[in-house]
C-alpha cells in the first residue's frame, strides 16, 4: 500500500505528500519493518518509532492498562508534524481518545460495510460460514468507537464464478471451524478470498486518498461511503 501510494504521488495522480512514517516497532525488531523503514528513509521521509514491545515489557505486559501513556509518547514524537490525514496500515494497536482527537486517521477494514468485524482472519472464516457471495473492503474515519467511524469508501469483489465455484463445491457443507482445524489459513478457499482482498486494497486506499485530496469525499466522512469498485477494478486491470 505504501509503495502504491508513493507511485501515485510520483506519477502526479495523487495530490499528496507524506510527511512522516510512524512505526510501533524499532529497528532490529523485524525484518519486514526494518525494510519498511529503509524504504521510507530512502525517499527522504522522516521515520519515527516507539516500540510497543518494549513498552509492554516496561509495564509488566499490561499494554491495555497503559494505552494512553503509550499514545502520549506517540503524540510527543508527532508534535512537529501537522498532517491533514494519517493512514493506518498494519497498525494493530487500538488508538486511545487523546490520539484520535489529535489527528484524523483513515483505516482500512477487509469487509464490506455491515459485514464481519474483527481481524482479517476472523472476517474470512465468517464469510465462509455465511457462504457469502461477495466481499470487499472499506475505509473509515477512526473514532473512539472501534471500527465504527464514518465510512469513506468501499469496493466489492465477487466470490462466485471462475475458480471460486470449484472451491465452494469442494467445501460442501463443512463449517469454517472444521476447515480451520484441517488446513488453517492454507485452505484453498480461505487463501483465495484473502488474495482477492489483498490484491485490491492498495487501489482502494489510493482511490480513497484521491477522493479526499480533490474534495470528492469530505474528511469527516459525512457524505456517506463511496462505492469505488469500478475505479478499483479498472486500476487493477490497467496494472
Asked if pLDDT for residue 117 goes beyond 90, the answer is no
DSSP string, 124-173: HHHHHHTT-SEEEEEEEE--SSTT-SPEEEEEEEE-SSTHHHHHHHHHTT
Name the band, by pLDDT with cuts 50, 70 and 90, for residue 57: very high
Q: What is the mean pLDDT of residues 193-220?
A: 95
Average pLDDT, the chain: 95
So what's the pLDDT on residue 147? 79
How confident is the model over 158-177, as pLDDT tens digits? 999 999 999 999 999 999 99
How confident is the model over 39-50, as pLDDT tens digits? 999 999 999 999
Asked if pLDDT for residue 195 goes beyond 90, the answer is yes
Please state, in angstroms and rounded to a whole number, the distance separating the CA atoms of residues 221 and 201. Answer: 19
Nearest to 106 by CA among 73, 70, 78, 137: 137
How confident is the model over 69-82, as pLDDT tens digits? 999 999 999 999 99
Percent of the chain having pLDDT more than 70? Answer: 100
So what's the pLDDT on residue 92? 83
Name the band, by pLDDT with cuts 50, 70 and 90, for residue 131: very high
Asked if pLDDT for residue 223 goes beyond 90, the answer is no
Residue in the block written with cell 467511524 = 149
Q: Are strands 46-49 and 86-87 parallel, antiparallel or unpaired?
A: unpaired
So where are the chain's domains? Answer: 105-238
Name the band, by pLDDT with cuts 50, 70 and 90, for residue 239: confident
Q: What are phi and psi of 236, to 5 degrees?
A: -65, -45
Q: What is the mean pLDDT of residues 125-139?
A: 97
pTM for the whole structure: 0.92
Name the band, by pLDDT with cuts 50, 70 and 90, for residue 90: confident
Contacts of 109 (CB under 8 A, 6+ apart): 117, 137, 138, 139, 140, 147
Asked if pLDDT for residue 148 goes beyond 90, the answer is no
Nearest to 139 by CA among 199, 231, 15, 227: 227
Amino acid at each position: 500500500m505504501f509503495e502504491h501510494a508513493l507511485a501515485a504521488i510520483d506519477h502526479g495522480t495523487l495530490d499528496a505528500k507524506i510527511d512522516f512514517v510512524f512505526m510501533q516497532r524499532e529497528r532490529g525488531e523485524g525484518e519486514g519493518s526494518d525494510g519498511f523503514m529503509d524504504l521510507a528513509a530512502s525517499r527522504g521521509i522522516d521515520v519515527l518509532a516507539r516500540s510497543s514491545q518494549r513498552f509492554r515489557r516496561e509495564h509488566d505486559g499490561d499494554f491495555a492498562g497503559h494505552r494512553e501513556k503509550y499514545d502520549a509518547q506517540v503524540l510527543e514524537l508527532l508534535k512537529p508534524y501537522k498532517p491533514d490525514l494519517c493512514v493506518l496500515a498494519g497498525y494493530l494497536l487500538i488508538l486511545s481518545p487523546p490520539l484520535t482527537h489529535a489527528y484524523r486517521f483513515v483505516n482500512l477494514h477487509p469487509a464490506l460495510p455491515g459485514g464481519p468485524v474483527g481481524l482479517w482472519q476472523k472476517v474470512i472464516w465468517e464469510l465462509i460460514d455465511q457462504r457469502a457471495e461477495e466481499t470487499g473492503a472499506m475505509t473509515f474515519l477512526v473514532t473512539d468507537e472501534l471500527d465504527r467511524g464514518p465510512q469513506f469508501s468501499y469496493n466489492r469483489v465477487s466470490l462466485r464464478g471462475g475458480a471460486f465455484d470449484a472451491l465452494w463445491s469442494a467445501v460442501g457443507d463443512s463449517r469454517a471451524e472444521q476447515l480451520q482445524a484441517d488446513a488453517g489459513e492454507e485452505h484453498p478457499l480461505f487463501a483465495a478470498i484473502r488474495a482477492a482482498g489483498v490484491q485490491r486494497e492498495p487501489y482502494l486506499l489510493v482511490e480513497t486518498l484521491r477522493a479526499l485530496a480533490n474534495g470528492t469525499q469530505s474528511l469527516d466522512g459525512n457524505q456517506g461511503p463511496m462505492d469505488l469498485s469500478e475505479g478499483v477494478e479498472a486500476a487493477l486491470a490497467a496494472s
